[in-house]
Amino acid sequence: MASYEKVLENIRGLNIVSGALHKDCIYFVAENYYDKKIHGDKYDEWDYPIEIRIYMYVPKLKKVKDEWFAKAYNEVGFLKHVTDISNDIIAFLGVFPEGSLAIQNNVEETSSGFQTLLKIIPVQGAITDVSVIDDAVYATASGGEVYKRISNKEWKEIAKLSTKNFFSNKRSADGFDCIDGFSADEIYAGGEKGTLWLFNKDTWRPIELPSNSDVQQIICAPDGYVYLNMGWLLLKGREDNWEKIKIPKEFKWIDSQIRKITWFKDKLYVLPYTASVYGMAVYQDNDLKAVKVGSFTINPEKIINDNPLWGIETKNMDTNVFIPSGINDMVANDELLMITGNDEVILFNGERWFNLFDKNRSEEELRATGTFYDPREL
């Protein structure tokens, strides 16, 4: 695959669901969804064999002639993934629910360099999250397990001896859903009904939180705090001390769940489920503020609550970069923040917003707006 237009042809019937960032490459992942009208009654939405395609955009690589590549996986489950593992040979590592791996050792190998290792992680339930901590990869599972990657073919379970009694009581919680850490000696794993466990040097123990909402995502940030995405609630703290982050009533999305949180350039970015309609927010210096995506032409008569960044009506926007609709994902590295959705991929470098891909617009159309992301021209 060599061009943006080839990707447009290849991605038909799939929805963009996530992405990953490498210093020399941008990945985004597309999946198909079960549709009874199309696929009939043989499957349902829970056991339909998902088709996944991983797309690579590699304009920075001088040794590679083409800019776009793709790798396809058929009859698989949802893909959890990480990239850019420092001090390792891996460029991309994806983990499927049953413990199988999708691995690319080197970006320059493009799609031909992807390997598949089947059921390497001995999970009894399903893998739920993957994170890089101290240059090592950790994965959580639905049975309350935490696995540490020793090598591609060896993953060691490190938590079950401590957590098995807790998770055998179905009234308390049902496994871990997310993981992150400051180091190999301070790791947090979270799950349903306010479940949060801390690994501190050599011991796992449960943490009591001021809410019993589900812990959906954990960010151990460079500012020394742990941030928890708990749906309608954001918590900030560390070890046994936690506080709620106040969400101003002026935010139009206050009644919507938070989809993703991501640390980028000394700020915590907050993306609600309704971001394509009401926008997103950023948390810094104990204050949560709205984020402007793209460039706006504001009608002063339509400003809500005397703040042009709270609740601008879509029809009053004049921009060529939009937060994608659908179920979004948001990831970041040192250089870029990326948001994906059903049809689009957008990027932010801390100063400007860019379009990378849009299923409804050609590369020529995106370049004509002046927003297409091409690092060679920046």
Q: What is the pLDDT of residues 145-166, one digit of tens each?
A: 999 999 999 999 999 999 988 8
Residue 36 banded pLDDT, cuts 50, 70, 90:
low
- H or E stretch covering 356: strand 353-358
Write the pLDDT tens digit of every residue in 198-210. 999 889 999 999 9
Q: For residue 66, which phi and psi values (nearest 5 degrees)?
A: -90, 160
Structure tokens belonging to residue 13: 């019937």
Residue 64 banded pLDDT, cuts 50, 70, 90:
low
Domains of the chain with bracketed CATH: 4-239+319-377 (2.130.10)
The CA-based dihedral angle spanning residues 10, 372, 335, 251, taken in that order and rounded to the nearest 10 degrees: -100
Percent of the chain at pLDDT exceeding 90:
64
Helix (H, G, I), strand (E, B) or coil at 116: strand
Question: For residue 279, how many other CB atoms are within 10 A of its CB?
Answer: 22
What is the rounded CA–CA span in Å between residue 364 and residue 72?
26
The yes-or-no verdict on residue 11 having pLDDT over 80 is yes
Question: For residue 289, how many other CB atoms are within 10 A of its CB?
Answer: 17
Q: Which of 49-63, 86-100, 125-139 has the highest mean predicted lDDT (pLDDT)?
A: 125-139
The yes-or-no verdict on residue 21 having pLDDT over 80 is yes
| Long-range own/partner contacts, residues 213-216 (CB < 8 A, 24 or more apart) | 214/177, 215/177, 215/178, 215/190, 215/191, 216/177, 216/178, 216/190, 216/258
Write the pLDDT tens digit of every residue in 345-373. 999 999 899 999 999 999 999 999 889 99
Write the pLDDT tens digit of every residue in 66-111. 899 999 988 677 889 998 888 888 999 999 999 999 999 988 888 8
Structure tokens belonging to residue 224: 């020394």
The yes-or-no verdict on residue 247 having pLDDT over 90 is no
Read off the pLDDT of each residue in 369-378 and give the average, rounded to a whole number. 89
